[in-house]
Amino acid sequence: MMLHRPPVPDATDAPRPAVAWEDAACPLCGREEHALLLEAPDPLPPNGTGLRFAVVRCETCGLTYTNPRPTPRTIARFYPSDYAPHRRPRKMRESRPARPLTSRLLGRPCGERRGDLPWPGTGRLLDFGCGGGAFLKRMADRGWDVTGLDSAVETGRAVQEELGLRVLAGSLPHPDLAPCSFEVVTMWHSLEHVHRPLDVLREAFRLLVPGGKLVVACPNIESLPFYWFGSDWFGLDLPRHLTHFTPKTLRSALETAGYRVERVQQLRHSDWLRSSARLAARTRGGFAAKALTWKPAARAVAWLCYAAGMSDCMMAVAGRP
């Protein structure tokens, strides 16, 4: 497995720390025997960084993960200043107008209704990987006592200053968070970014009250879009995505961390299909890829993937017994 040296930065680029690399054991079972699944480039920025990254599958438990990978201290180099999840939304609304039936059936994600949490009434909420704060604001407006946590320091500071919400910098465990502090912990597309997902899940378990709920949404590498697009699949996002879950390995990680898994469900993301199709059209061309950049076609195919139980996104709900 070859690692390529990072390209020499342009003289106009801001100085960035050199990237350090590490070979990782399986983040789920700890074994080191793995097989190469694929190699793919960093899709950000549009012209890429000149690096390709390997994705491997553990031969013991089947978990798929990026290996080798940037170390925790240097992976920030691969998060551009305009990284989409860290952007502050231009406009926030507590309620949205009802969508047409066809849009509800074929358009928005099915099941990922981030305001509908598996908890009666309101309570204390931790959003791990809170990004630009849109979800925090929505839940605060609904009466929740919210806390955000994100490794992007400047983004968190902006959320605090502009929205007046509590946001901590860093990851889990965090010294400012006490055991049994939250009724609900959410991880919206953040667990796949961490180097030690089991440690994060175990710490979230410790932070939940007995009976508390954890919600995790992440890409599903055992999906039809992954099989179609391969290295151009939007859900890879290398090297920022470090662990690539399937429904089975996500359930296994949650159970290993002590949770009682209530459900792992498929979600529809037609925008993900369109993003994958754009990448594929750019790198390899072809009529099928170009066709799926058309929104109605992507919506229909996303619904078919969902009906087949092989969408490219999934959500798990688990509880602390």
**∠ CA(192), CA(35), CA(45), 5° rounding?**
45
The pLDDT of residue 272 is 94
> How many angstroms separate the CA atoms of 128 and 191, rounded?
8
CB 145 within 8 A of CB 123: yes
Kindly give, in sequence order, each residue whose CB lies less than 8 Å from that of residue 184, ignoring residues fewer than 6 positions away. Answer: 117, 118, 119, 123, 124, 125, 126, 208, 212, 213, 214, 215
On whether the CB atoms of residues 248 and 62 are closer than 8 A, the answer is: yes
Given this model, what pLDDT does residue 224 score? 97
Question: How many other CB atoms sit within 10 Å of the CB of residue 16?
Answer: 12
Q: Judge residue 57's burial from the number of C-beta atoms within 10 Å of its C-beta, 0-12 exposed, 13-18 middle, 19 or more buried.
A: buried
Residue type at 84? A
Q: Does the N-terminal peptide bond of residue 173 adopt cis geometry, omega within 30 degrees of 0?
A: yes
Q: Which of 60, 88, 40 is nearest to 221 (CA)?
A: 40
Question: Alpha-carbon distance 252 to 254, whole Å?
Answer: 5
Q: How confident is the model at residue 99, as a pLDDT?
A: 45
Question: Look-up: residue for tokens 């919506």?
Answer: 299
Is 176 within 8 Å of 5 (Cβ atoms)?
no
Regions in the chain scoring below 50 on pLDDT:
1-14, 92-111
Say which CATH topology domain 102-319 has: Rossmann fold (3.40.50)
Burial zone of 145 (CB within 10 Å; 0-12 exposed, 13-18 middle, 19+ buried): middle
E-strand ranges in the chain read 21-22, 34-41, 52-58, 64-66, 69-70, 124-128, 145-150, 166-169, 182-188, 208-219, 243-244, 260-267, 313-319
Burial code (b: 16+ CB inside 10 Å, e: under 16) for 264-299 equals: bbbbbbbbbbbbbbbbbbeeeeeeebeebbeeebbb
Q: Torsions phi, psi of 314, nearest 5?
A: -145, 165
The contacts of residue 120 (CB under 8 Å, 6+ apart) are none
